[in-house]
Amino acid sequence: MARRGRRGATLQEIAQETGVSVATVSRVARGVGQVSDDTRRRVLAAIERHDFRPSPLGRGLAKRSHGALAIVFPGLSGPYYSEVMGGFEEEAMRAELAVVILGTHLLRESGQLVRDTAARVDGLAVMGGVLSDDVVDRLRDRGDPVVLLASGPRAGIPTVRTENVSAFDRLTRHLLVDHGYDRLVFVGDPDSSPDAAYRWTGFGQAHRYAGAGTPASPVRVGLTQSDGFIAMDRLLDAGPPPRALMCANDETAIGAVLALLDRGYRVPQDVAVTGFDDIPMAGLPVSGLTTVRQPMRELGAVTAQVLLREIDGSGPAAVDHVLETHLVIRGSCGCGTT
Amino acid sequence: MARRGRRGATLQEIAQETGVSVATVSRVARGVGQVSDDTRRRVLAAIERHDFRPSPLGRGLAKRSHGALAIVFPGLSGPYYSEVMGGFEEEAMRAELAVVILGTHLLRESGQLVRDTAARVDGLAVMGGVLSDDVVDRLRDRGDPVVLLASGPRAGIPTVRTENVSAFDRLTRHLLVDHGYDRLVFVGDPDSSPDAAYRWTGFGQAHRYAGAGTPASPVRVGLTQSDGFIAMDRLLDAGPPPRALMCANDETAIGAVLALLDRGYRVPQDVAVTGFDDIPMAGLPVSGLTTVRQPMRELGAVTAQVLLREIDGSGPAAVDHVLETHLVIRGSCGCGTT
DNA sequence: AAACGTTCAGCAAACGTTTTCAGAACGTCG
DNA sequence: CGACGTTCTGAAAACGTTTGCTGAACGTTT
């Protein structure tokens, strides 16, 4: 194995070349402390010339911090995650921190993987449903700053999430009451992610409110477009379609729409479909997808802010931030169709 | 700002407690060198008790390596990237290396961001089309091991990609010759990614081969589902639809299919549609999407291997790996439709 | 002219590892 | 009994920073 070696110059080299001490170079590089104009100029020139960048390793060791944040996702597919990431990253950048994304793709030993990552960052944001409770607790116990994303509330750990239950309740009532639909079916697995669980709760809540009887059991599938397609396919094979399909997110909704159209059904005339998230694609189909908008970017940004506060120890130990959501009524629920 | 402090025990502490030197603890922790059974047992116990993990910072400094690889994507949405990532990550794990994913979301100053990241890893894999040539060159000049992914060949830098041109040529000939379609339209922007460029080349190549005249200019859109939808929409607004739509990837193809179905056209009877990649969703619609399968996971894995070799200096300086692809004929091109 | 405050710069410790070198303890062989 | 291998262990240097402390040089007050 050859030398992996460091690339680029070190403080030492710059110092030697300029004839000053490393301390001075360090100060100049960071723009702190008192340095005479003349010295500063000379050092700056050398830094420029060698394209010197302080080693994150050395710096990390000295400052007892890694200069990085991690965010843990179930995978890294999809517009939702992408958007959340964007907000998180932007906020991290503002604080001059790097971001490590951890997609638990091959999470066989995700506990191990997460702990390794935890050792390389100053704090972690963990998406709901991707890590078992005790893994999170162990992280926490070890002293790692952690915040939970799209999940909670949870004792002792700050959480950031969006309003799900009542939004889904309102959406369901819209179908039940305003449109007068019966036979609603929920697509999504309440056990696999907190988000799906909240939405399922809102679904039931609206049924009780409307006196619509016990809803059918959910079609338990994941959150991808394929899952939505498969769910619809399965439903169609099993018998006559439901009057309306309420999907746990937009991607499954679009998958379902595709399956319906593909088999000759019309949306919303034959089957109404709704989603959640309001991803870019949701506004496109001619009918437009009726959905709930959640501030995904802001979700990521706030998570980063809370994590930052958690890291430097300011702010209360644990809070539960809930961001607002609101209904987006388009055509796929039947509104605007004669 | 409070103490960011280190979490967990250090070699020192374990050493002190066990009454041995740090050197010995280090040896035991890594399982190297000669240590008496008795000592080993005692040290191991202490390590266990404190849940000691060597600090990546200290270790990195001492070994002049970061123990991490980076992979740079244009964003982090979509099944294609997800799959490539998986392969890359798996290979990195095997080498006990962490992976840093860099999605150039807000790449205003992506050059800066990439260089910062480069300073924290042992090598980078860069997806074609996300970084300008000179940014890559600067990385390279500085001594950072770099390999290009889904792009190339490029002098002085190893590249890993899949066979695109002839695959798209064959697919196009299938539509042109076997199905006898005329009026083919290509959806995708050859200027925005090497992959799209290769495919556009294959498209033209087949037209020349079949004596089919000059193809229409491409509909220049991105690679997301929305882009495919929008492209089809635009086409439909402009006049009668083409006989067949050849999309740069599966996601745009599915977006286009959705737009067609949404407006009452049938696929493939009215318009045939093809994609590229063979993502999971491609096999689902009743007709099934005709496409080209590329070994995405393997693409990621091979990239990691090449990068690893690049890092430890073994292997030739620069090679161009080309992975095989093959046609997947399903129904969306018109095959199997009476 | 003495005392004092400022400004600038360097020394050296600290951060947590890995690794080279040397030495101690012990047994074996001639 | 001396010479010599083994086997185990520790001291210390090195990696590249940051930062508290000390002090020199210089100007400003009394």
Q: Is A148 helix (H, G, I), strand (E, B) or coil?
A: strand
The reported pLDDT for the residue numbered B5 is 56
Q: Which fold has domain A165-295+327-333?
A: Rossmann fold (3.40.50)
Tens digit of pLDDT per residue, chain B (338 long)? 334 555 789 999 999 999 999 999 999 999 999 999 999 999 999 999 999 999 999 999 999 999 999 999 887 678 999 899 999 999 999 999 999 998 766 555 667 889 999 999 999 999 988 888 999 999 998 889 999 999 989 988 999 999 999 999 999 999 999 999 999 999 999 999 999 999 999 999 999 999 999 999 999 999 999 999 999 999 999 999 999 999 999 999 999 999 999 999 999 999 999 999 999 999 987 679 999 999 999 999 999 999 999 998 877 778 999 999 999 999 999 998 76
| A64 interface with B at CB cutoff 8 Å | yes
pLDDT for A2 equals 33
Contact B99, B123 (CB under 8 A): no
Domain spans of chain B, in order of start: 1-47, 65-162+298-325, 165-295+327-333
Looking at residue A175, the DSSP 8-state letter turns out to be: I
CB-based contact B4 A314, cutoff 8 Å: no
Rounded Cα–Cα distance for residues A70 and A122 (Å): 8
Q: C-alpha distances in angstroms, B141 versus A10, B6, B86, B145, B311?
A: 17, 35, 29, 9, 14
- pLDDT of B3 reads 44
B201, B218 Cβ separation under 8 angstroms: no
A124: chain B residues, CB-CB within 8 Å = none
The kind and range of the H/E element at B70 are strand B68-73
Please say whether the beta carbons of B206 and B173 come within 8 A.
yes
Q: Which of B2, B86, B261 sits opposite A262 (nearest CB)?
A: B261
pLDDT of amino acid B232: 96
Determine the distance between B41 (CA) and D30 (C1') in angstroms: 72
Between CA B256 and CA A137 the distance in angstroms is: 46
Same fold, A65-162+298-325 and A165-295+327-333: yes
B56: closest CA of chain A, how far (Å): 6
Closest residue by Cα to residue A283 from A222, A226, A328, A225: A328
Residues 38-77 of A with CB under 7 A from strand C: 38-40, 58, 61-62, 64
Tens digits of residue pLDDT in B225-250: 999 999 999 999 999 999 999 999 99
Q: Which nucleotide is nearest to A8 (CA to C1')?
A: D16
Q: Which nucleotide is nearest to A22 (CA to C1')?
A: C10
- The tokens describing A56, both together, are 């994150």
pLDDT at B7: 73
Sequence-separated (6 or more) residues with CB below 8 Å from residue A160? A147, A148, A149, A150, A152, A299, A302, A303, A306, A321, A323
Q: Mean of the per-residue pLDDT values for chain B?
A: 92
Q: Is the CB of B15 under 7 A from strand C?
A: no
Q: Is B286 helix (H, G, I), strand (E, B) or coil?
A: coil
**Is the CB of residue A9 less than 8 Å away from at least one CB of chain B?**
no
CA distance B231 to B235: 6
Side-chain half-sphere CA neighbours of A189 within 13 A: 12
What is residue A3's predicted lDDT score, i.e. its pLDDT?
43
The CATH superfamily holding the domain B1-47 is lambda repressor-like DNA-binding domains (1.10.260.40)
Local confidence pLDDT in tens for the 338 residues of chain A: 334 555 789 999 999 999 999 999 999 999 998 999 999 999 999 999 999 999 999 999 999 999 999 999 887 678 999 899 999 999 999 999 999 998 766 555 667 889 999 999 999 999 988 888 999 999 998 889 999 999 979 988 999 999 999 999 999 999 999 999 999 999 999 999 999 999 999 999 999 999 999 999 999 999 999 999 999 999 999 999 999 999 999 999 999 999 999 999 999 999 999 999 999 999 987 679 999 999 999 999 999 999 999 998 877 778 999 999 999 999 999 998 76
Find chain B residues with C-beta within 8 A of A313's C-beta: 2-3
Distance, Å, B61 CA → C15 C1': 11
- Residues in chain B closer than 8 A to A113 (CB atoms): 93
Q: How far apart are CA A12 and CA A4, in angstroms?
A: 19
Separation of A42 CA and D27 C1' (Å): 25
Q: What is the CATH topology of the domain spanning A65-162+298-325?
A: Rossmann fold (3.40.50)
pLDDT of residue A109: 61
% residues pLDDT > 90 (chain B): 83
Reduce the DSSP state of residue B293 to 3 states and report it: strand
Specify the long-range contacts of residues A115-119, CB closer than 8 Å, at least 24 apart.
A115/A139, A115/B53, A116/B98, A117/A70, A117/A72, A117/B98, A118/A70, A118/A142, A118/A144, A119/B8, A119/B53, A119/B55, A119/B56
pLDDT of residue A4: 53
Task: List the A34 CA – D25 C1' distance (angstroms).
Answer: 15
- Give the nucleotide at minimum CA-to-C1' distance from A60: D17
Q: Which residues contact B204 (CB under 8 A, 6 or more apart)?
A: B215
b/e burial code for range A299-327 (CB count within 10 A of at least 16 → b): bbbbbbbbbbbbbbeeeeebbebeeebeb
- Residue A183, burial from CB neighbour count under 10 angstroms (0-12, 13-18, 19+): middle
Q: Which nucleotides of D are covered by protein (CB under 7 A)?
A: 7-12, 14-20
Angle at A79 between CA A77 and CA A82, to 5 degrees: 75
Structure tokens at B210: 């079949």
- What local confidence, expressed as pLDDT, does residue B77 receive? 76
Q: Which residues from A are below 8 Å from B262, CB to CB?
A: 261, 285-287
Instruction: Give the orientation angle of helix B56-63 with respect to helix A56-63, to 10 degrees.
Output: 140
**What ranges make up the beta strands (E) of chain A?**
68-73, 98-103, 123-127, 146-149, 159-162, 184-187, 244-247, 272-274, 291-293, 320-323, 326-328
pLDDT tens digits, B27-76: 999 999 999 999 999 999 999 999 999 999 999 999 999 999 999 988 76
pLDDT for position A21: 96
User: For residue B56, what pLDDT is reported?
Assistant: 96
Cβ neighbours of B253 in A, within 8 Å: none
